[in-house]
Amino acid sequence: MIFMLFLGVAAMMLIAAFMFLHISEKQRLRQKMMDQFTLALPKDVTMADGSVAQRSFAEEMHLKVSIYLGFEPGAQHKLLALLLLTLLVAVTQLLLDGPMALLALLAGVFVLGFVIPYVRLQRRRQQMLAQIPAFIDQVLRSLGTGRSVEGAIRAVVDETPIPLRDVLLPVIRATDLGASFTESLQDAAKLHAQHELGLVALAIRISNMYGTSAKDLLKSIMLMIRQREQAARELASMTGQTKVSAWVLSLIPISIVGYIHLMNPAYLDGMLKDPTGIYVFWSALGLQLTGIFVFWRMLKSV
C-alpha cells in the first residue's frame, strides 16, 4: 500500500514537473517572440494606432552589438569567444612572460574583439553605399510602372544584394507590424550609419507630406552618391603614397621591438626589472599608441 502511494506521488510529481517545464518553454518562446517583435520595430516609432513602440537599453545595446559584429550573438558565439580567450591566454603564457605576455594578450583581445569586427563593419558599410545607387535606380524603374514609393521599394527588396537587403528587410517587417515606413527606414539608416539611406527616407517623407513626386529627389540622391564615389576614388589615388608612409611609420617601432625580443629575449630584461625602466616602457607604449591613433585619424580624414 505504501509502495503504491509512493508510486502515485512520484507520478504526480513527474506530471507536475513536465507541466512546469512545458509552461516554462511556452513562456520562453512567447518572450522570445515578443523580444523579436520589439527589435523589429524602430526606436520610438509611431504605430498605426497612435502608440509609441520603445526599446529598452539592453535591447538597444543588443541590436547595436549585432550590427557591429555582423551577426546576432548567441550562446555558441559566447562559448567560442571564451574558448578563443582561453587559447590566447595559454599561447601568450607559453611563448612570453612578464609585461610582454600581458601586452600580447591585450593586443590580441583588441585585434580580435574590436579591430577585426570594425574592419568588417566598415567593409559592409562601403558595400551598402555602393549598392544604394543601383537600388535607387531599380526603385525609379518600379515607380515608372505606377507603383507607390513604398510599393516600389517592396518590389525590389528581394532582388537587392546583401548587405543592403539585410538592412531593408527589417524595415519591411516593421511596416507589416504597423510601424511607419519612413520612420522605420530612417531608424535603419541611423543604426547602420548610412546617411544616404536617410536621404532616401527624407525624400519619401517630403513626397508623402506635400504630395510631390519623389522621382526627382531620388535621382538627385543617386547622382550625388555616384559623384562622391568618383571623387573619393580620385582622392584615394592621389593620397596613396601618404597612406603607405603613415602605415610604415606606425609599424616600424612595434616591428623593431618585436624583432629584438625574439632574437634576444634577455635584451629588455634589465629595463623591465627596474621600476624606472618599466615606467619608460609603458610611457613609450602609450606614446606609440597615441601616434598610431593620430595617423589613423589622418588616414580617415583623407
pLDDT in tens, 198-226: 888 888 888 888 777 788 888 888 888 88
> 244 and 229 in one domain?
no
For the chain, the average pLDDT equals: 76
Evaluate if pTM is beyond 0.75. Answer: no
> 194 and 61 in one domain?
yes
> 149 and 185 in one domain?
yes
> 206 and 153 in one domain?
yes
Q: Looking at residues 241-246, what average pLDDT do you find?
A: 75
CA angle 139-144-146, nearest 5°? 105
Residues 6+ apart with CB under 8 A from 72: 66
User: Residue 37 pLDDT more than 50?
Assistant: no
Tally Cβ neighbours within 10 Å of residue 103: 16
Structural domain includes residue 91: yes
User: Residue 22 pLDDT more than 60?
Assistant: no
> 140 and 284 in one domain?
no
What cell was used for 177? Answer: 507590424
> 247 and 228 in one domain?
no
> 144 and 64 in one domain?
yes
| Between residues 207 and 50, the one the model is more confident about | 207
Share of the chain above pLDDT 90, in %: 0
> 294 and 204 in one domain?
no
Structural domain includes residue 52: no
Structural domain includes residue 212: yes
Residue 276 is predicted with a pLDDT of 85
User: Residue 152 pLDDT more than 70?
Assistant: yes
Last residue of a domain, one of 238, 259, 279: 238
Task: Indicate the number of domains in the chain.
Answer: 3
Residue 54 is predicted with a pLDDT of 62
Three-state helix/strand/coil letters over 1-35: CHHHHHHHHHHHHHHHHHHHHHHHHHHHHHHHHHH
What is the domain range of residue 141? 57-238
User: Residue 38 pLDDT more than 70?
Assistant: no
> 158 and 135 in one domain?
yes
Residue 50 is predicted with a pLDDT of 52
